[in-house]
A and B are shown apart, each in its own frame.
Chain A
Amino acid sequence: MTSYRFAVSVMPKEGILDPQGRAVEQSLPHLEITSVRDVRVGRRVELTVEAEAEPKARATVERLAGELFSNPLIERWAVDPIDKAAAPDGPQEAGVAGDGR
């Protein structure tokens, strides 16, 4: 068995009013930012799967993405493999991801 780590991104579908995104957008003038628009707020879930091979691990994640992490009526999802070293919650290494502190 091998461990595979994935990230699942879940976003509100096009045409669905996203009041969170709108609220973020409305706050931008307070930061004196005027160049940003079309803000949408979604969700990211990271997880590790034990499986014999990558396709099996991915199939499990895809099932979860469709049945649990997203509501197919209102949201779309995408699954991406995570390179452990580059993951935001991985070992503290130099990289662009981080908490900004």
Chain B
Amino acid sequence: MRVGVVVFPGSNCDRDALEAARLSGAEAIPLWHEEPDLRGSELVVLPGGFAYGDYLRAGVIARFSPIMGAIREHAARGGLVLGICNGFQVLAEAGLVPGALLRNATLRFEHRWVRLSVERRDTPFTRAVPEGRTLRMPVAHGEGRYWLPEADFDELEARRGVVFRYAPPEGNPNGSARDVAGVIDAGGRVCGLMPHPERASEVLLGSDDGMLLFRSLIEGAAETVAAERDPIEVTSR
């Protein structure tokens, strides 16, 4: 599987994302934001950082980068997109996932380890997560307080759009509504989350729980390719 990691001016987790994708067995390539070409990437990762210095509003200027049109088309065709932290903010600003990310209620940049409950294991992003397993990952953001108008929120919950929630003992670090840490679009192919799975990619770093997301995506894609090669496999699965 080829994974493209978008590099905006100000991205700073792109190399970590490339490394995590490679650790999962993918071929990972950087994609410069000014080129509207995903170079055959099956999964596009929008990494963390401070694209365009977070000027105006986190994620908003990046939303208009030339590559975003290609990402929008990729998503419309059912391609996979993962937005991490600033990447989630870009996806939300672009309307590719619902909601907005506001300044943390604490008014502080929150950087700490959190625990996530996985609300859905039937997505391409979470299929490798064992049942009942919570994930330990770091957050590092100033604007991660998820918000959606109440009526839209009920709709989001009804379609099971919340994939990750902050869980005890550390709990909600930023005042996110309904403890939301990550959401998925209606098509189930575009996911954004504030915590950093790529920073929890090796036990040495404190946790390798983030690899469950990358493995979900990359092993899932490998199985799809195998199934396409052998149609009988499709029916037996």
Contacts and interface: CB of A to CB of B under 8 A. Distances in A.
Interface of A: 16-17, 19-20, 22-23, 43, 68-69, 71, 73-74
Interface size class, chain B: 10 to 19
Given A19-B103, A19-B105, A68-B64, A73 B56 contact: no
Contacts of A23: 107
A20 B103 contact: yes
A23 B105 CA distance: 10
A35 B30 CA distance: 54
A47 to B, nearest CB: 13
Contacts of B147: 16, 73-74
Given A17-B175, A68-B60, A69-B56, A74 B103 contact: no
A73 B100 contact: yes
8 contacts: A19-B104, A43-B56, A68-B60, A69-B56, A71-B93, A73-B148, A73-B149, A74-B100
A40 B43 CA distance: 40
B59 to A, nearest CB: 9
A17, A22, A23, A73: most-surrounded residue (chain B CB, <10 A) = A73
B64 A17 contact: no
Contacts, number: 33
Given A16-B102, A19-B104, 11 more contacts: A19-B105, A19-B106, A19-B107, A20-B103, A23-B107, A68-B56, A68-B60, A71-B60, A71-B93, A71-B100, A73-B148
A22 B104 CA distance: 12
Contacts of B60: 68, 71
Contacts of A17: 102, 105, 145, 175
Contact of B107 (A16, A20, A69): A20
B64 A74 contact: no
B33 interface: no
Interface string B102-127: 11111100000000000000000000
A73 to B, nearest CB: 5
What are the 4 closest A-B residue pairs judged by CB atoms, nearest first? A19-B107, A73-B100, A74-B100, A23-B107
A58 to B, nearest CB: 21
B57 interface: yes
B51 to A, nearest CB: 14
Contacts of A68: 56, 60-61, 64
A17 B93 CA distance: 19
A16 B147 CA distance: 9
A74 B102 contact: yes
Nearest to A68: B60
